[in-house]
Structure 1
Amino acid sequence: MKGKVLSLGAAALLAGGAFLLSGQTNSANAQDLLGVSFIDNVKPYLEFRPRYEYVDVDKSGNKEANALTIRTKVGVKIGTVLGVQGLSAVLEAIDVSALVDDYAPQKAGYETVLDPDNTRLTQAYIAYSLGNYAFIAGRKYVAIDDHRFIGTVGWRQMPQSFGVLAIAGKPIQGLDFLLAGIYERKGITDTPEDWSRGKVLNADWQLDKMPIILDVNYKVIPQLRIKGFAYLLTDIHNTYGIKASGKVDLGGIKVSYLGEYAKQTDPYENDNRDEKPDVDTDYYRLKVGASAMGFFANVMYTYFGDGDVNKKEPGFSTPLATLHKFDGWSDQLLAGAAGGFDYGMKEWCISAGYKNPTIGKLMIAYLTFDSDKDPGTIGKSIGSEIDALYAKKLTKRLSFLAKAAWYDADNGYYTGGNLKGDKDVTKYWLQLDYKY
């Protein structure tokens, strides 16, 4: 507890001390002596996010999980550093504390909730803007597109962040790009799950063997945006893909669409593995949605290619994605999406809801999962799931969320030779989120 108090006190100084550092004091300071302020245009921010999570896994042998956790985020955005126009910085710390800790990894014998006690410097980076370009160095959140391949995992109390050296820009009208090298990964826990079947995600990447991110977007017309990408992950795989998306207004009914294809091959660089992985698989996703007068509905089909079980080659995988956002909120497909489905996976997701500032947002989704190839020892049907959500902004700064997931297992699926998703799962969440 003493360590928690000290860490929270340091976080409070991070925000409160920003006012002093910006020169808002009557005593002599660095600005008086040097004629320049170290930092200026300082904007502190704060978030408190308490959440209750319940997990029940049928016939698992573990007790039901009851987790009441709170996320305390303290940060500061510094608009000007050393008086240099265009040079800015961000510092942020997060503390996750368990108020009710009847869950693993806090206690053995309970179901898992991946929100253990933790305190971390989540963001610490500098950025330099010059015209239509920005240069970034340091630890920060990286959220690309809709988080399908690389995201922040912001649903968990401790988000995912990366150490990056990056350049982003808009060289011409309608075109923007991101080119980044990753030299560090901080997952949602200090000992993240080893989704990659090696120990590469638990270690920092080398500066000379860092994963490379290239993301290019071009707005062809207001109704069409094309994206090309290459995510070259050391020790894991290279992913190359293309995506087309857009929205069309049909007389009051707004129709959205998305089509995405990606191919995975051997990684361009091998660092922490004894042998270079042999990867040859693909993925695609199709989605159509419509909205009118507050009502909305979506249909999405997702395909994950299989691997070669005999050669222990993994299927298509997205280990750096915000996985909770996809493939069901119960997270029963998470291990396969992150590490690869041995026999592939085909998913249908149908969702519908209503959104109104007065009432809030209500949504329900139905998902089905099947293996692409026949596993032989079990059937192709993995299972199905129903997800439900209600969200409401209570005040300008305070919001409420209630969410539930019911996973109905059938045969489950194999990933890395291990059977997953073969047990029924029920999860509930209640959350408040205050931001200042």
Structure 2
Amino acid sequence: MINRFLLAGPAALAPLLILSAPAAAQQGAEIKPIIDARLRYEAVDQKAVDADAVTFRLRAGAEAKIGKLSILAEGEGTWAPVNDYNAFAFPILDEQRRPQYAVVADPENIELNRLQLQYRDGDNALTVGRQRINLDDQRWVGSVGWRQNEQTFGAVRGEAKLGPVSADVTYAINQRTIFGTDAGPRTAFDGDFVFAGLGSKLGPVHAKLFAYLLDYEEDFFLANSSKTFGGFLTGALPIGGKNKLNLRLSYARQSDYKNNPFNYAADYWALEAGTALAGVNLAAGWEKLGSDNGRAVQTPMATLHKFNGWADVFLTTPAAGLEDAYLTVSRKFDGVKALPGLHANLTFHRFDSDVGDIRYGNEWDASAGFNLGKTGLLLKYARYNAKNFAVDTNKLWLQAEWAF
């Protein structure tokens, strides 16, 4: 019964939003337009193939609020005036599958992105329909916002807060991927997915326990069915004057679930420490996606571009697992009036296996950006130097983004 309601919900909400808009306006409802545009050039240089992509993505829609109730509808379209790239990294009979080029996972696409009904009362909320879900740092569940086509979920999500304790529970039946409407069976994955979190903040300390139960229906994707239980702890320690040492520790245990053909139980660890010195932000960290019995920790719903290097070499964790030791230096230049919002970032990664003592390689990532009015401009570069995994990969991005 819940499954049928979730599937029918988006279709039912569309005419409701359209028909109710004039009446809502008369009743004093707030109607907010949604416009989000992004123009990007992406270049990829690998040993055997390269790619050049110019893509333009537009999201447009509206959200109508009447008291504590809101209805949101949003469409998404991506156009590629320069399409010398392979939009699909997997075999599929489609004109956007161009294996003579390197992969840029931004296929041309027009689709419904979000269509949801929400009731919110302060920190308590219930959201039903196709929705964006970004949990914590998006290591386990996220919208993959870096790619042009967003990942969304057909789900029921409940959020509640009682004193210092907050709860966030989602039941989803559909993961709509970044590959768009022409990706065949990879357009969306069906299943039974539960995301649950219970957290509390006490002063500068934030602690949270989480559980992710992923039960996929597609036969070719069953290896990603897993159960993950863990938590994280963040806090800040004074180290003299106004300086603080920001700390984050996360641990999880992942194992096979339901019809996963693998039998494994592997650990996930993440440690990070950061501080600011003379206006420069410094951070050092180590992340391990462990391996057991030939299967490593996988995060198929994560915003993967945020982790393990911008070259996206490790979107799927190697069977021997992955250890990522990294150092980041960043700064915001608030005093540059001609370039408001100017910021720069430089990160170095060293990649190794969890088992087998395999040196995967290292990577340099750099970015700089600033604002021109409501338009954000960004330059990014990634250079992965391969050792015993994948191939040398260079990527360059030039981007302009505007949101209303």
Q: Distance in 2 between matches of 1:203 and 1:139?
A: 13
Shift of 1:293: 4.6
Q: Residue 343 of structure 2 corresponds to which residue in structure 1?
A: 361
After superposition, the Cα gap between the structure-2 partners of 1:77 and 1:294, relative to the gap in structure 1 and judged at 3 Å, is farther
After superposition, the Cα gap between the structure-2 partners of 1:22 and 1:278, relative to the gap in structure 1 and judged at 3 Å, is same
Q: Residue 365 of structure 2 corresponds to which residue in structure 1?
A: 387
Matches within 5 A, 1:72-221: 72-80=58-66, 85-105=67-87, 106=96, 107-130=98-121, 132-172=123-163, 174-190=164-180, 202-205=188-191, 210-220=192-202
Matches within 5 A, 1:381-420: 381-395=359-373, 397-412=374-389
**8 Å CA contact 2:111, 2:181 repeated in 1:** no
> Which residue, 385, 389, 393 being the options, matches 1:425?
393
Tell me the secondary structure at the aligned position of residue 142 of structure 1: coil
Tell me the secondary structure at the aligned position of residue 211 of structure 1: strand
Q: Residue 288 of structure 1 corresponds to which residue in structure 2?
A: 273
One-letter identity of the residue aligned with 2:199: N
Q: TM-score by structure 1 length?
A: 0.79
Tell me the secondary structure at the aligned position of residue 80 of structure 2: strand
The farther-off stretch of 147-156 and 106-115 is 106-115
Larger Cα-atom Rg: 1
One-letter identity of the residue aligned with 2:286: Y
Q: Residue 9 of structure 2 corresponds to which residue in structure 1?
A: none
> Which residue, 319, 324, 327 being the options, matches 1:347?
324
Q: Distance in 1 between matches of 2:290 and 2:365?
A: 25
Shift of 1:135: 1.1
Q: Distance in 2 between matches of 1:131 and 1:327?
A: 36
Structure 1: runs of 5 or more not aligned? 1-13, 24-29, 413-420
Matched, 1:301 2:286: yes
Aligned residues: 366
Q: Distance in 2 between matches of 1:363 and 1:124?
A: 35
After superposition, the Cα gap between the structure-2 partners of 1:364 and 1:193, relative to the gap in structure 1 and judged at 3 Å, is farther
One-letter identity of the residue aligned with 2:197: D
After superposition, the Cα gap between the structure-2 partners of 1:200 and 1:238, relative to the gap in structure 1 and judged at 3 Å, is farther
Q: TM-score by structure 2 length?
A: 0.85
Q: Residue 415 of structure 1 corresponds to which residue in structure 2?
A: none
Deviations 1:115-152 (A, max 9, x none): 01001111110111246421110011100011111111
Shift of 1:266: 2.6
After superposition, the Cα gap between the structure-2 partners of 1:302 and 1:51, relative to the gap in structure 1 and judged at 3 Å, is same
Tell me the secondary structure at the aligned position of residue 94 of structure 1: strand
Tell me the secondary structure at the aligned position of residue 234 of structure 1: strand
RMSD after superposition? 2.4
Q: Distance in 1 between matches of 2:187 and 2:206?
A: 32
**8 Å CA contact 1:252, 1:292 repeated in 2:** no
Deviations 1:8-36 (A, max 9, x none): xxxxxx9xx97x9543xxxxxx579xxx8
Q: Distance in 2 between matches of 1:125 and 1:47?
A: 18
Shift of 1:388: 0.3
**8 Å CA contact 2:109, 2:181 repeated in 1:** no
Q: Distance in 2 between matches of 1:91 and 1:402?
A: 31
Q: Distance in 1 between matches of 2:286 and 2:106?
A: 30
Shift of 1:191: 7.2
Q: Percent identity, please.
A: 29
Question: When you count strand as a share of all residues, which structure comes out higher?
Answer: 2
Matched, 1:256 2:242: no
Shift of 1:410: 0.1
Q: Residue 279 of structure 1 corresponds to which residue in structure 2?
A: 264
After superposition, the Cα gap between the structure-2 partners of 1:50 and 1:349, relative to the gap in structure 1 and judged at 3 Å, is same
Deviations 1:187-243 (A, max 9, x none): 11037999xxxx8995322xxxx11110111002x2210010000111411000010
Q: Distance in 1 between matches of 2:325 and 2:189?
A: 35
Q: Which runs of 4+ in 1 moved over 4 A?
A: 191-194, 199-202
Deviations 1:281-303 (A, max 9, x none): 11100000012453101001011
**8 Å CA contact 2:24, 2:64 repeated in 1:** no
One-letter identity of the residue aligned with 1:302: E
Deviations 1:301-343 (A, max 9, x none): 011111313xxxx21111110000000000011121xxxx321
One-letter identity of the residue aligned with 1:78: A
